[in-house]
Amino acid sequence: MIQGFLQTDPRLLPVVQKYGCALLDCCYLSAVDFQPSDVNEMFMELRQVGEVDDECTINSWMNVLESVSVHLQFKTIAPIDYVCLASEREILKWYLSNVEEDHFTVGNGAGMTKWDSMNRPDIMRAYATFVSKVVVTYLA
């Protein structure tokens, strides 16, 4: 869970501020209350073992999700028309044409953004193309 800060928070490491959307989305899905220092520490630990790279790109969704919470389990990369089951959560992958990079948001289960670590709906409306979903099973 993330409350009270976004990806641009100056307490986050610069690399997380710039590229940390997917990692922050994983933290958002957790029941654990993450603070910026927790995210920074997690990034450093995951980078050290190669689960994320120097630009915070996730190399293993399965391992990163399990590191964030024992209640999160990677299921699959799905097409945009996949509708999540009640026990599933989704992280949406977008392509932003203005910066020619990917961006990730937390979805509502039906392909709509529920939480965006950048909180920039103007950019999303103007430049985002929906690419795919990372489907996560929530284990009670």
Examine the pLDDT at 42 and tell me if it is beyond 90. Answer: yes
- pLDDT value of position 140: 80
**Mean pLDDT across the chain, nearest whole number?**
96
Phi and psi at 76, nearest 5°, equal: -170, 165
Alpha helices in the chain (DSSP H): 14-19, 21-29, 36-48, 61-68, 121-127
* Alpha-carbon distances of 13 from 4, 90, 115, rounded to whole Å: 17, 25, 21
28: which 2 tokens? Answer: 């958002």
Question: In the chain, pLDDT over 70 holds for what percent of residues?
Answer: 100
* Alpha-carbon distances of 62 from 51, 65, 126, rounded to whole Å: 9, 5, 31
pLDDT in tens, 52-110: 999 999 999 999 999 999 999 999 999 999 999 999 999 999 999 999 999 999 999 99
The whole-number average pLDDT for the span 116-134 is 96
79: which 2 tokens? Answer: 């097409």
Q: Where are the domains of the chain?
A: 14-138
